[in-house]
Amino acid sequence: MNENKKTYILGVESSCDDTSAAVVGDGGLLLSNVIASQQVHEEYGGVVPELASRAHQQNIVPVVDAAIRRAGISRGDISAIAFTRGPGLIGSLLVGTSFAKGLSLALRAPIVDVNHLHGHVLAHFIKEKESDEVPPFPYLCLLISGGNSQIILVRSYKDMEVLGRTIDDAAGEAFDKCAKVMGLPYPGGPHIDRLAAEGDPKAFHFARPHIRGLDYSFSGLKTSFLYTLRDAVRANPDFIEERRADLAASLQYTIIDILLDKLKRAIDITGVKALAIGGGVAANSGVRDAVEKLCNSRGVRAFIPQRKFTTDNAAMVAVAGYFKYLDGDFCPYDATPYARVNI
């Protein structure tokens, strides 16, 4: 590494249904972040893996090209290429991994593999301006997405310990599956969020899990929600239509209650002074407010990311890759992507 040369890390993210590329400079300063979301899955009510990898193939070159252009650099300036190696859909990951390797050979720039979950946790280190504040180590990160619900103790950029995780569904799945029962489009989380703003969060009571330790469970809530609707619709076929907002508000309230119950315990056990949230569900208005309030009441600093950095994006991959690059932690060319991996 040339000490005087400026660092530019190109990040490539293709783990699910968003093709994204970003460039970060020294200190994790964000220079560009381009995302092409795939609409093709909407009519299927969920992500279709084969269609996702095909769309990545079509999107990846223009998206990377745009990221480099918007960053105001040229390809030859790139110090390293960071890519998401997993977890995710294997076909989608293969597109990003192969692209990163090819570009790396062409540019003679090393590759850095990034764990997608580390990316979400380290999204708080993306700086849009030099003065942006970042969480102090150690901090707790509540990582809540379509595939994960975890409480992570983050000791450093690379030392992370999962203190609790879901034993069944993720929080995002609970939002999406319950929304589907209500006839809302996929993904249902944002629709529930919008409807909840006009409903009564105490209108309905849904089951809460009794799980020991810091683990989560959301499958009981899903069943309880389903049975409540099934019974009510038998008595009144217009029930869902008439009570949409109250159902959404009560569902959201219950999910937040479950999330915060374990989070409070994690704060007490670890004694951390900072708490961050990440992952798609961290975009939820109710979650953001509740976490902020919890932190204020406990004298803990809350790090609530901008919504654009909660869902899948390459800026978080580039910033996670930046710290590995500084450590000289590069990836060999025979590295293959992994569909499943822990933090």
Task: With beta carbons less than 8 A apart as the criterion, state whether 115 and 272 touch.
Answer: no
Please report how close the Cβ of residue 269 comes to ligand KG4 at its closest, in angstroms.
Answer: 26
- Minimum distance from CB of 205 to ligand KG4 (Å)? 20
Interior angle at CA 101, CA 116 and CA 111, nearest 5? 60
Closer of 8 and 216 to ligand KG4 (Cβ):
216
What is the rounded CA–CA span in Å between residue 174 and residue 58?
32
Please, which residue, 8 or 309, has the CB nearer to ligand KG4?
309
Measure the CA–CA gap between 107 and 103, rounded to whole angstroms. 6
Instruction: Name the residue nearer to ligand KG4 (CB basis): 109 or 317.
Output: 317
Question: How many Å apart are CA 216 and CA 265, to the nearest integer?
Answer: 12
Quote the least distance from Cβ 186 to ligand KG4, whole Å: 8
Before 87, cis peptide (omega within 30)? yes
Q: What share of the chain is helix, strand, coil (3-state, %, to 5)?
A: 50, 20, 35
Question: Phi and psi dihedrals of 152, rounded to 5?
Answer: -120, 135
CB of 223 to ligand KG4, least distance (A): 18
Residue nearest to ligand KG4 (CB): 280
Compare residues 220 and 280 and give the one whose CB is closer to ligand KG4: 280
Nearer to ligand KG4, 283 or 300 (CB): 283
18 vs 77 by CB, closer to ligand KG4:
18
Query: Is 150:343 a contact under the CB 8 Å cutoff?
Result: yes
Q: Which is nearer to ligand KG4, 15 or 32 (CB)?
A: 15
Which residue, 111 or 154, has its beta carbon nearer to ligand KG4? 154
Contacts 24+ apart (CB under 8 A), 153-160: 153/266, 153/270, 153/272, 154/121, 154/276, 157/122, 157/125, 157/320, 157/323, 157/324, 158/118, 158/323, 158/324, 158/327, 160/118, 160/121, 160/343
Nearer to ligand KG4 (CB atom), residue 67 or residue 316 = 316
CB-count burial class (<10 Å; 0-12, 13-18, 19+) for 160: buried
State how far Cα 34 lies from the chain centre: 16
Rounded to whole angstroms, the maximal C-alpha distance in the chain is 73
User: If 0-12 CB within 10 Å is exposed, 13-18 middle and 19+ buried, where does residue 6 land?
Assistant: exposed
Minimum distance of ligand KG4 from residue 108's CB (angstroms): 33
Closest approach of Cβ 334 to ligand KG4, in Å? 28
Angle at 63 between CA 61 and CA 68, to 5 degrees: 95
Residues of this chain that bind ligand KG4 (CB under 6 A): 16, 145-147, 172, 175-176, 187-190, 193, 279-281, 283-284, 311-312
Q: How far is the CB of 172 from ligand KG4 (least distance, A)?
A: 3
From CA 177, how far away is CA 12, in angstroms rounded? 29
- Shortest Å distance, C-beta 103 to ligand KG4: 25
Q: How far is the CB of 15 from ligand KG4 (least distance, A)?
A: 8
